Amino acid sequence: MMEKKSPHILNASSNLLGFSLIIITSLKITKISENTYLDEFAGLACLLFACSCFFSFLAIRSKNEKQEIKFEAIADYLFLTALFCIVLAVIIVTVKII
């Protein structure tokens, strides 16, 4: 049987959710995001990381192995998509600063 990834996804998602919220807060304070899609990508990442946390938690708590596998896969894909949004946000910040 494959090693369970859900605890790792939950840990990473919750940490990156906090990171994304810090990005959004800094953008609002500095008003950098007015002419970019930076806050939209960071906001989407927040939602996706939160959903990833939720599904990974459901996978950890699930008693049914099929449901656990399904929830873990959903959490995994949400995490990957959120990570992509964060990368786009970092690229936008880098281009804006340079």
Q: pLDDT for 52-87, tens place per residue?
A: 999 999 999 999 999 999 999 999 999 999 999 999
Residue 83 lies in a domain: yes
pLDDT of 3 strictly over 80: no
Residue 2 lies in a domain: no
Residue 1 lies in a domain: no
Residue 4 lies in a domain: no
Residue 61 lies in a domain: yes
Number of domains into which the chain is organized = 1
Tell me whether residue 36 is exposed, middle or buried, using C-beta atoms within 10 angstroms of its C-beta: 0 to 12, 13 to 18, 19 or more: middle
Residue 74 lies in a domain: yes
Query: What is the pLDDT, as a whole number, of residue 2?
Result: 62
Q: By residue range, what is the domain housing residue 26?
A: 11-97
Selected residue with higher pLDDT from 95 and 1: 95
